[in-house]
Structure 1
Amino acid sequence: MAVEGDRDGPAVPLLEEEIGSCSSSCQVHPPRNHARDVHILSLAFLFVFSAYGAAQNLQSTVNTEEDLGTTSLGILYLSFTFFSVVASPVVRVLGSKFVLVLGTTGYFLFIASNLKPSWYTMVPASLYLGFTASIIWVGQGTYLTSAAFSHAEDCHLHEGTVIGNFNGEFWGVFANHQVIGNLFSLVLLHGGEEGDNLSRKNLLFTIFLCCTVIGIALMCFLSKRNDKESNPAPYSSFGSVLKYVVSPLLDKQMLLIIPLIVYSGLQQAFVCAEFTNKVVTPALGISGVGGAMAIYGAADAICSLAAGKLTSGFYSITLLVYGGASLHIIVILWLLLGYSLTSGVVGYIYPLLMSIFWGIGNGVFNTQLSALLGILYKHEKEAAFAQLKLWQSAAIALIFFLSPYLTLEAMLIGLLVTLCIALLAFFYATLRTDGS
C-alpha cells in the first residue's frame, strides 16, 4: 500500500520505508527520527501498563479488607475525571515530554502503596494517580500527534496516513500489556501455599515496580517537542484558562464525537467488570479469565496495528468505526437474545470468540478516535485529548459504581442504546464534514 507524497512527487511507501525515504529526500536538513520516538513511547507505556493493568485487576482480590481495593479504584477514576477538565492547560504549560515523565510517577506510587496497603497509603496514591493519569494521557495524544505531523512534513507524506500508522503502532504495542501483566500474575500467584501468599504478592508488586522504573527511564529518552512554540499558551487569567478548557464543548463536531468517546469508555469497563465476571467465569471458571483476557488483548493488538495501516483520513476512520461497532452489536445482541451456558467444547469457544470481537472493536475505537482528534484538532491537540480522557474516565467510573446494582441485561441494553446514539451522531458528523 502506498500514499501520495507531495503534489509533484511520486508515491511513497508507508511506515516501513518512511525513514529511509525521509533520509534520502531531506539531504540539507536531515529530520529527527520521529518514528524512533514513537517506538520509545510505545515501549514505555507497555512497561508501565503491564505493571499497572495487572495491579488494577488484582485490587478486588488482594485488598479485600473493607473493600479497600475497589474503593481505591473508584476514587482513582473520579479523580481522573475531575483532573481531566484541567489537564489540557497543564500539558500546554509544561510540555508533552515533561508531563509524560511526571505522569509515570503516579503509577509508581500506586503500585508501591500495594506493598503496604492501608487507607493512609492507597487513597492518597489513588488521588495522585488520577491527576497524573489525566496529564499522561493528554500528553501521549499530544506527543504522538505532534510527532506524526512533524514526520509527515519532513518526509512529504500524507498527514492522515502517518497519524494512522503512528496510532496503530502505539495502540498495537500498548494492547499487549494485558497479555504480559496477566502472565506475570498467573505465574507468581498460581498454586501458592496459604502461608506464602503475602510474600508472593510482594514479590509480584516489586516486579511491577521494576517494570514501571524501566518505563520511566524510557520516557526520558524521548525527544523534546516544541509544543509551546507551535501552540503558545497565553493564559493571562483564570478566565482565559477556563475558556480554553470549555471551548471544545462549544464545537459542534466535538459534541457529535463525544457519544462515541463515552461508549468507548463504557465498553472497556464492561469487559473488565461485567463480561469477565458474568460471562467468562461461569463458562470457563476463574482460571479461564486470564486466558480470555489474553486473547482479548491479542485481538486488540493485532486489530490496532491493522486499523492504523488502513487509516488515511476521515472517511477511512468512519468505515473502520462502523466495522468495529458492528462486531460489538453482534456480541451484545448475542448475549441479550441467544446466549446460554453450553457444555463441551462449544461452551469454551463461545466466550473466547466474544473476547476476540470485543478486542477487535476496542482496537478500532482506540486507534480511530485518537487519529480522528489529531486530524480535526491539529492546533488544539491538548484540549481535544483532554475531552477524550474526560468522557472515557467518567464512563469507566460510572460502570464501576453501577455494576453492583444492575443486571447483565440492563448493562447490555445501556451499551446498545449508547452505541446506537453514538453511531447516529457520528454519521451526522460525517455529513457535516462532507458538506464543509
Structure 2
Amino acid sequence: MERNLKNVLVISFGFLLLFTAYGGLQSLQSSLNSEEGLGVASLSVLYAALIISSMFLPPFLIEKLGCKWTIACSMCCYIAFFLGNFYSSWYTLIPTSVILGLGGAPLWSAKCTYLTIAGNSYAQKAGKIGRDIINQYFGVFFLIFQSSGVWGNLISSLVLGQSPQQVEISEEDLKCCGAYDCITAAANNTTAFKKPEMTLVYTMLGIYTGSGVLAVLLIVTFLDQIKANEVESEKETMKKESPLSLVLATFRLLKDKRQCFLIPLTMWSGFEQGFLAGDYTKSYVTCSLGIHFVGYVMICFAATNSLCSMLFGKISQFTGRKVLFSFGTLINLSCIIALLLWKPHPSQFAVFFIFPALWGMADAIWQTQTNALYGVLFEKNKEAAFANYRLWESLGFVIAFGYSTFLQVYIKLWSVPAACIVYGGNYHSKNAPVCECKSSRGRGSKGCTMAEDHNTKDTLKPLVFRLHDSVPKMVREVLMERGWSEFDKRQQDKSDWNLYWRNTPFHVTDHRNIKPWQRLNHYPETVKITRKDYLARNLKRMKGIYGSALYEFSPVAFIMPNDYVKFIAEYSKERQSQGRKSSYWICKPVNLSRGRGILIFQDIKDLIYDYVVIVQKYISNPLLISGYKWDLRLYVCVTSFCPLTIYTYEEGLVRFATEKFDLSSLDNVYAHLTNTSINKFGPSYKKDKVGIGRGCKWTFSKCRSYLRSIGVDDLLLWQRINNIVTLTLLAITPSVPLTHNCFELFGFDILIDDKFKPWLLEVNCSPALHLDCSIDATVKKGLLHDVIELLNYKQIDTLRQSKGVRTKASCASNHRLNALSLLLYNLSWKLQEDHLVKRP
C-alpha cells in the first residue's frame, strides 16, 4: 500500500505543480489576450490539437515509453506553451497551443492508466474490490490536483494586483457585462480590460514556467516506472500489437456501445469547464471587477472543486453515480438560470464567488465519477478508453472556446441548459450500458448495475444471489458488477433469489424445491466424473461399450485397495516386458484436490496408502516447454443434460511446474506437479524462468501461439480436446436426474504428451476461482461474466415477477441421440488420430 500510495502522491503533486501554472494561465487567456480573440482562439486550437492527439498518440506513446516517461515528456509540452505567452502573438501562441494539445492526451491517458493499474494491483493483493480502490485513488488525486486552481489563481491575483492603477468601471460599461456582454469595441475599451504592466505579466509567467519545470523533475525523480501491461504482484507479458493496431485502438473502442453512450457525458465535462474559463471570467468578473479579481474568483472554484472531489469519491460508494450525476445536473442548471437573470455589479461582491463555488461542486462530480467510470468499464483497454475521454472532453472545450468571440453570453447560456439536460440525461437512458455502483443490502458489499442483467423497466426487483461461505470473493464481485444484490435472509423471503452458488453439492431437497426463476450451480450426480475413482469406473464402462480406441484418452487406472490384485498383475506384466524395469505410476487420493496427497513412484514398495486412492500410469513423456512440464485447465459449462448442451470457454489457464522436468527425482513436486497451490511456495516461483517467465501460468492464447510456432496444428488439437470433454460428459448423461434450473462449471485438466496426444487427468467440480495473479483475473473474471450471460437471467427473472410455471420438457429420446453422437465421434476420432503431427 505504501509504495502505491507514494506513486499516487507523486503523480498528484506533479500535476498540482503543472496545472498550478496552466490553470492560472488558462483562466486569464480570454482577458489577458483579448485582442482579436487571440486568447480564446489559442485555447480552441489547443483543444482541437488535443482531439487529434487523443485519436493517435496515447496508446502508442504509453506502449513505447511507459506511463512514467509519457507523463514526463507530455509535461514538457505544457512548458512550451508557458514560454509562448512571454511574447503573445498569433505566431507564438498558436504553435505552442498545438504542441500543448499534442501532449495533453498522452499526459492524461498515462495518468489514468497508471492510477487504474495501481488500484487494481493493490486491490488484488489486499483482496478488495478493484473499483473501490480506483475510486479512492482518483479521489486522492483530484483532492490534490483540483487545489492547483487555488495556487495558480492566487499567484495571478497577487502578482497582477500589484499594479498601482485603480480600475474604475462606469455604469455605462457595466451594462455590457454579464449575460448581455457586448461583442463590440466598447467592451474592450473599458478600464477593466486594460492589459496589466508587462513586468508583472513576465513575473507571473516566470513563476508558472518554474512550476512546470519542478513538476517534470518530480515525476522523473520519484515516480516508479510501471507498464500498462503489468501489475505489481506479477508481471505477465501481454500479446504485442502492431503500431498500426495501437494507433487505431482509440477508433476501435467506438464500436463499444458503452463508449458511445459516454460521449455526450464526456463532452459536457469540457463544455462546462470551457464556459467558466472563457466566458464567466471575461464577461462577468473582468468586465465588472477587473482582471486581477479573476484569480480570486477562480480560487473559490478550485477550492470547492478540490474538497468535493474527495468527498464525492467516498459518497459514490453509497449513493451510486446516478444520484451524483443528477445532483451535478441540478446545480449546473440552477447556476445557468441565475446567470441569465443576474446583472453583475461590483456592489454584489459576494455573488461573484458563489457561482464558481457551486460550479466547482458540480465539476467535482463530473471529473471524479466520469474518470472512475472509464477505469471500471474499460479495465482491459485502459489506454484507448482514456484517450477517448480526452478526445470528447476536448471537443467540448473546442465548442465552448470556438464560439466564445462570436456569440453573446446570453445565447451561450441558453444553449448550455439544453446541453446539460441532453448530456446528463443520456447517462440515465435505459439503454445506456454504464456501471452504477451502490451499496448492497447484503453484508454491506458494493455493487454495480449493468445493463446486461438488470433494467429497471424490465423487472420490478433486482436480481438476487446467494453465496455459500466458502465461495471465492471474485464471484460476489462479478455479480455485483452486473447489478445483482446479495440475498439477506433477515429481510427477504426465503425464495426471493435467482442464483445460489456454492462449492459443494446441493441437497436433494434443494433440487426438489427450486422455483422456476432460480438456478443452482450444481447438477445432482455430477460427482460421477468429478471424483477420481467414479470417473475411472465410468470411463472404463464406456470403453467396454464403445471400444477402447474411442476412450484411450484416459490413462490406465486402478482403484485401491479393490483393484490391488489387478494392479499387481499389470505392474508385473509391465516390469517383465521392460526387462525388470517397471513403468512410472502416480497415486492420488480419490476425493482430494490441489495436489494434496499425490505420490509418484516406480517401485511398488514405495506405494503406501491409508485410504481409498487411484493408481494410474504416469505420463512420463509430457510435452515440455523450455524443459518445464505443463497442463491445461479447460473451463466447461453445461447448461443442460437434457439435451446435453456444452460450452467450452475459449480462454483458459496453462499451468506450469516451476522446476524442470526430471524423472530421476520423482519426489520433487515442483518438477512433476503443476498445481499453483503447490508451486507458489516453490523456490523458483517468483524467478524469471527462461521461456516461461515469472509465476507458473500462461493463457490458452499464448500457449496456442507457441504451439503454432513449433508447427503443431492447434485447431486439430483443440478439436480433440473438445472430443474428450464431450465423450466424458456423455458417460454420465443418462444417469443425471431430470432436474431443471441447474448449470455446472467443470474444470477439465488436460495433459499433452510429446506425441501431441491429449490426455484427461481429472475433472474438477467447482474449479478454483481465487485470483493468484493477473492472468487469473483476466481469465476467470471473463469466464464468470460469460457464464452469467449464458444463463439469460433477464428473461428467466420474468418468471420470478409473474410467479410463472415452466413446462417440463420430455427427454425420452435424448439418450438415443447421445448414443448416436458416440458413434459419430468414434468415426471422427479415428479420422483425426493420424493427423495431429508436426507440420514440415
Deviations 1:362-385 (A, max 9, x none): 011100001111111111111111
Which residue does the alignment assign to 1:260? 265
Which residue does the alignment assign to 2:671? none
With over 3 angstroms needed to count, the CA separation of the structure-2 counterparts of 1:286 and 1:329, relative to structure 1, is same
Q: Tell me, what secondary structure is at the counterpart of 1:161?
A: helix
Q: CA deviation at 1:116?
A: 4.2
Whether 1:42 and 2:12 are equivalent positions in the alignment is yes
Q: CA deviation at 1:280?
A: 3.7
Report the residue type matching 1:402 in the other structure. Answer: Y
Cα contact 1:283–1:348 (8 A) shared by 2: no
Report the residue type matching 2:368 in the other structure. Answer: T
Q: CA deviation at 1:65?
A: 6.2
Distance 2:309 2:377 in 1: 20
Which residue does the alignment assign to 1:83? 53
Q: CA deviation at 1:101?
A: 0.7
With over 3 angstroms needed to count, the CA separation of the structure-2 counterparts of 1:409 and 1:432, relative to structure 1, is farther
Whether 1:104 and 2:75 are equivalent positions in the alignment is yes
Which residue does the alignment assign to 2:43? 73
Picking from 155, 158, 174, the partner of 1:184 is 155
Cα contact 2:160–2:196 (8 A) shared by 1: no
- Show structure 1 runs of 4+ deviating over 6 A: none
Which residue does the alignment assign to 1:271? 276
Q: CA deviation at 1:330?
A: 1.5
Distance 2:30 2:248 in 1: 40
Which residue does the alignment assign to 2:217? 217
Cα contact 2:67–2:113 (8 A) shared by 1: yes
Which residue does the alignment assign to 2:721? none
Cα contact 2:304–2:361 (8 A) shared by 1: yes
Which residue does the alignment assign to 2:200? 200
Distance 2:160 2:115 in 1: 36
Q: Tell me, what secondary structure is at the counterpart of 1:312?
A: helix
Picking from 28, 40, 64, the partner of 1:58 is 28
Distance 1:164 1:433 in 2: 23
Whether 1:157 and 2:128 are equivalent positions in the alignment is yes
With over 3 angstroms needed to count, the CA separation of the structure-2 counterparts of 1:215 and 1:226, relative to structure 1, is same
Distance 1:349 1:433 in 2: 48
Report the residue type matching 1:89 in the other structure. Answer: P
Which residue does the alignment assign to 1:406? 407
Which residue does the alignment assign to 1:426? 427
With over 3 angstroms needed to count, the CA separation of the structure-2 counterparts of 1:342 and 1:180, relative to structure 1, is closer
Which residue does the alignment assign to 1:320? 324
Which residue does the alignment assign to 1:234? 240
Distance 1:182 1:169 in 2: 21
Q: CA RMSD in A?
A: 2.6
Deviations 1:247-267 (A, max 9, x none): 221111111111111111100
Q: Which entry has the higher C-alpha Rg, 1 or 2?
A: 2
Which residue does the alignment assign to 2:95? 124
Which residue does the alignment assign to 1:144? 115
Deviations 1:324-383 (A, max 9, x none): 2221122123334x4344785xx3333322221100000111000011111111111111
Deviates more, 1:304-313 or 1:45-54: 304-313
Distance 2:333 2:31 in 1: 31
With over 3 angstroms needed to count, the CA separation of the structure-2 counterparts of 1:433 and 1:319, relative to structure 1, is farther
- In structure 2, the gaps of 5 or more residues are 166-194, 231-235, 435-449, 455-481, 483-840
Distance 1:118 1:278 in 2: 22
Q: TM-score scaled to structure 1, two decimals? A: 0.84
Choose between structure 1 and 2 for higher RCO, CA contacts under 8 A separated by at least 6 residues.
Answer: 1
Cα contact 1:108–1:213 (8 A) shared by 2: yes
Cα contact 1:51–1:209 (8 A) shared by 2: yes
Distance 1:208 1:272 in 2: 18
Q: CA deviation at 1:166?
A: 0.8
Q: Tell me, what secondary structure is at the counterpart of 2:203?
A: helix
Cα contact 1:101–1:216 (8 A) shared by 2: yes
Report the residue type matching 1:189 in the other structure. Answer: L
Higher strand share: 2
Which residue does the alignment assign to 2:342? 339
Cα contact 2:28–2:294 (8 A) shared by 1: no
Cα contact 2:54–2:250 (8 A) shared by 1: no
Deviates more, 1:44-53 or 1:193-202: 193-202
Deviations 1:130-163 (A, max 9, x none): 1111110111111111111112112222222211
With over 3 angstroms needed to count, the CA separation of the structure-2 counterparts of 1:141 and 1:233, relative to structure 1, is farther
Q: CA deviation at 1:84?
A: 1.0
Cα contact 1:95–1:228 (8 A) shared by 2: no
Distance 2:63 2:387 in 1: 11
Cα contact 1:85–1:387 (8 A) shared by 2: yes
Distance 2:452 2:130 in 1: 17
With over 3 angstroms needed to count, the CA separation of the structure-2 counterparts of 1:121 and 1:330, relative to structure 1, is closer
Cα contact 2:157–2:293 (8 A) shared by 1: no
Distance 1:116 1:283 in 2: 27
Whether 1:290 and 2:295 are equivalent positions in the alignment is yes
Distance 1:370 1:143 in 2: 13
Distance 1:365 1:109 in 2: 29
Q: What fraction of aligned residue pairs are identical, expressed as a percent?
A: 29
With over 3 angstroms needed to count, the CA separation of the structure-2 counterparts of 1:331 and 1:163, relative to structure 1, is same
Cα contact 2:113–2:383 (8 A) shared by 1: yes
Which residue does the alignment assign to 1:311? 316
Which residue does the alignment assign to 1:301? 306
Q: CA deviation at 1:393?
A: 0.8
Distance 2:279 2:86 in 1: 27
Deviations 1:299-328 (A, max 9, x none): 101100101122339x72222222222211
Deviates more, 1:362-371 or 1:170-179: 170-179
Distance 1:284 1:199 in 2: 22
Q: CA deviation at 1:276?
A: 2.3
Report the residue type matching 1:101 in the other structure. Answer: A
Deviates more, 1:69-78 or 1:370-379: 69-78
Q: CA deviation at 1:193?
A: 5.8
Distance 2:257 2:353 in 1: 39
With over 3 angstroms needed to count, the CA separation of the structure-2 counterparts of 1:288 and 1:189, relative to structure 1, is closer
Q: CA deviation at 1:282?
A: 5.4
Q: TM-score scaled to structure 2, two decimals? A: 0.45
Cα contact 1:283–1:351 (8 A) shared by 2: no
Distance 1:415 1:163 in 2: 31
Distance 2:390 2:247 in 1: 18
Cα contact 1:93–1:233 (8 A) shared by 2: no
